[in-house]
Amino acid sequence: MTSAASPADIDALVPEVIALIIEALNMELDASEVDPDGPLYGDGMGLDSIDMLEISLVISKRYGFQMRSDNEDNENIFSSPRALTAYIASQRTQ
């Protein structure tokens, strides 16, 4: 299922996605400390490629769609929590 999500839908889902990432990776971080527009890699949440694989698995289970490592748009999809949330909102089946 692919559909355009409204900015309000994305804003409402961002805290859930951030909390999911923190829980999946057992991070000692409060969701309120995460900048939704900050980078997931490096200086933002400090994640690496292994973390992204783990997040992809959790997202696939939670939202009912498969994230693919060969998606040419992955750099944009995983650029920030908000970008990831927008992608989830447009793809999810659950």
Q: What is the pTM of this model?
A: 0.90
The domain segmentation of the chain, as residue ranges, is: 7-91
pLDDT at 4 over 80: no
Instruction: Determine the Cα–Cα distance for residues 67 and 36; give it in Å rounded to an integer.
Output: 20
pLDDT tens, position by position, 45-85:
889 989 999 999 999 999 999 998 899 999 999 999 999 99
Residues 14 and 29: their CA atoms lie apart, in Å, by 16
CATH of the structural domain 7-91, one choice from 2.40.170.20, 3.90.79.10, 1.10.1200.10, 3.40.50.150: 1.10.1200.10
What pLDDT band is residue 93 in, cutting at 50, 70 and 90?
confident
